Amino acid sequence: MKSEIVDSFSQMVKDKKIDRDLLESIIKEVFGMMIKKKYGQNANYDVIVNMDKGDIEMYLSKAVVETVADPETEITVEEANERSGEELEVGDDYTEVLDYVTFGRRHIVNLKQNLNQKIREVEKEIIYNDYKDLVGEIIVGEIYQIKPHSILLIHNGHEIQFPKGEQIQRERYKKGESVRVYVKEVSKKSSGPPSIIVSRSADDFLKKLFELEIPEIYDGVIEIKGVAREPGERAKVAVYSYDDRIDAVGACVGMKGIRIHSIVRELANENIDVINYSDDIGLYIARALAPAKLKDIYLDKANKVAKIVADEDQISLVIGKNGQNIKLASKLTDYEIDVERNSGRPKDIEEALERELELQAEEAEDEELDEEVDSNEEENDNIPELPKDMKDAGDNDDEEETEEDTEDDNDDEEDESDEEENVKAEEEKK
């Protein structure tokens, strides 16, 4: 039976990668607990485990005395000589070999339960320590089971949680497929194995992909200063080069975009904007809002608010599709961004003064025109009136013309009446 226990847990060592020395100490601890339950908590014992042979030896030691004061640690001379078959004296040590079978079924069941519990605790601790060291790294897992709210992955024989909120919504996953994921969180649970959470939507996942694909970032020549993502849709990455000879954006994009394209393909064709980082927050915000062109930026550094002015045709570019551009720029720069349409207002004091002078000149011209109109009206009012007889002469002329016109009209009417009478006479003759 002893060898069966050792063999079974030796196999467990192979399957679960538990150190042999650690397993040996666990077996010694569990057998020691069994001995204490039967012979007392103060019992002096020794457990020897031979993992290679699958053998376990247990020894119980007591002091030989005339009168027993503590039965857990002492034994009389008579009893010691009877059990050992030797002649022992007071002061000698009595050592008894304990047989595994003599412990009884109840103790054996408890022994196996304790061993299983200890092994599980060790296994949980090993898994936790292994994956705790992997937090912030990318691993490859196989899709084992697809649930409504999460996906179970298998990695090195361990189950890993891939929650729906950590997935890229545009992606479709199939059982048996391998997927690259970012180890986001590892935590212990009161029961069961540790909880391992992985992600593909985290900003750090994109950052880690840049480190893997771009040697300059891995070597520390180029640093990623910030990342902002709408997973599967669009992302902005701010980079800075510590070597003036190296263009940070160019190094990240690569020749003909070969470096950035590999990352884009990994992220379901997510659009990635790579910009140069700047300590000048105004310039940094302007770069973050690219491709939009800004007229001006007003900063409230105390409250981290940026007010930008842009032409009407640039507003849509500033905001972006579904507000993505301005949202990502705000997240990247850590500034709240307000947009204002350019209404032709001056950008600075000099332009304001020039505009004011132009307005004053226009007003002056309008006043001069008004004065000219007023002077002309005054001149017309000052023209002297004609004498009365000249006015009457003019009126008489008009009357004479009227009388002549009347006479002509009467002559015409008489001619028309004569013609009518002639026509009637001819008709009567007929």
Shared domain for 324 and 217, answered yes or no, is yes
Domain count of the chain?
4
Domain final residue pick, 199, 234, 251: 199
Shared domain for 313 and 287, answered yes or no, is yes
What pLDDT was estimated at residue 103?
76
CA–CA dist 245, 263 (Å, integer): 24
Both structure tokens of 361: 């000149």
Percent of the chain predicted with pLDDT > 70: 76
Helix (H) or strand (E) holding 235: strand 234-241
Shared domain for 266 and 314, answered yes or no, is yes
Shared domain for 187 and 76, answered yes or no, is no
Say which CATH number the domain at 220 has.
3.30.300.20
Shared domain for 217 and 321, answered yes or no, is yes
* Residue reference for tokens 């996953």: 173
In this predicted structure, the answer to whether residue 350 has a pLDDT above a threshold of 90 is no
CA–CA dist 133, 146 (Å, integer): 27
Residue 370 lies in a domain: no
In this predicted structure, the answer to whether residue 242 has a pLDDT above a threshold of 60 is yes
Least confident window among 115-124, 268-277, 294-303, 309-318: 115-124
Both structure tokens of 110: 């408890």
Say which CATH number the domain at 74 has.
3.30.1480
Domain final residue pick, 148, 164, 199: 199
In this predicted structure, the answer to whether residue 361 has a pLDDT above a threshold of 60 is yes
Residue 302 lies in a domain: yes
What is the average per-residue pLDDT within 396-417? Answer: 46
Shared domain for 188 and 169, answered yes or no, is yes
What is the arrangement of strands in the sheet containing 336-341, beginning at the earlier edge strand?
A: 296-300, 305-310, 336-341
Average pLDDT over the chain reads: 80
* Residue reference for tokens 């200063």: 225
Shared domain for 183 and 85, answered yes or no, is no
- For the whole model, what pTM was predicted? 0.64
Residue 325 lies in a domain: yes
In this predicted structure, the answer to whether residue 404 has a pLDDT above a threshold of 50 is no
What is the average per-residue pLDDT within 44-53? Answer: 81
What is the average per-residue pLDDT within 242-264? Answer: 91
In this predicted structure, the answer to whether residue 15 has a pLDDT above a threshold of 70 is no
Residue 289 lies in a domain: yes
What pLDDT was estimated at residue 163?
95
Contact 238, 272 (CB under 8 A): no
Domain final residue pick, 158, 175, 199: 199
Residue 79 lies in a domain: yes
Q: Select the more confidently predicted residue: 214 or 72.
A: 214
User: Concatenated DSSP letters for 70-127?
Assistant: -TTTEEEHHHHHHHHSS---TT-EEEEEEPGGGG-HHHHHHHHHHHHHHHHHHHHHHH
For 176, half-sphere exposure in the C-beta direction (CA atoms, 13 angstrom radius) is: 0
What pLDDT was estimated at residue 11?
60
CA–CA dist 408, 247 (Å, integer): 104
What is the average per-residue pLDDT within 316-331? Answer: 91
374 pLDDT tier (thresholds 50, 70, 90): low
What pLDDT was estimated at residue 42?
87
Please give the backbone phi and psi of residue 239, each rounded to the nearest 5 degrees, phi first.
-125, 155
83 pLDDT tier (thresholds 50, 70, 90): confident
Pairing state of beta strands 74-76 and 55-65? parallel
Residue 147 lies in a domain: yes
Shared domain for 195 and 214, answered yes or no, is no
Shared domain for 78 and 181, answered yes or no, is no
User: Concatenated DSSP letters for 370-402?
Assistant: HHHHHHHHHHHHTSPPPPHHHHHHHHHHHHHHH
**Helix, strand or coil for residue 315?**
helix
Residue 430 lies in a domain: no
39 pLDDT tier (thresholds 50, 70, 90): confident
Say which CATH number the domain at 181 has.
2.40.50.140
**Helix, strand or coil for residue 54?**
coil
Shared domain for 149 and 191, answered yes or no, is yes
Both structure tokens of 236: 């902005």
Shared domain for 274 and 332, answered yes or no, is yes
Residue 6 Cα distances to 1, 9, 12, 21, 314, angstroms = 9, 5, 10, 13, 76
Q: Which domain holds residue 412?
A: 384-420
Angle, vertex CA 29, rays to CA 28 and CA 33, nearest 5: 115
Shared domain for 150 and 70, answered yes or no, is no
Q: Select the more confidently predicted residue: 176 or 27.
A: 176
What pLDDT was estimated at residue 348?
47
Contact 209, 237 (CB under 8 A): no
In this predicted structure, the answer to whether residue 77 has a pLDDT above a threshold of 50 is yes
CA–CA dist 118, 27 (Å, integer): 9
What pLDDT was estimated at residue 190?
80
Contact 240, 223 (CB under 8 A): yes
Residue 352 lies in a domain: no
What pLDDT was estimated at residue 387?
46
pLDDT for 122-177, tens place per residue?
Answer: 888 888 999 999 999 999 999 999 998 999 999 988 899 999 999 998 899 999 99
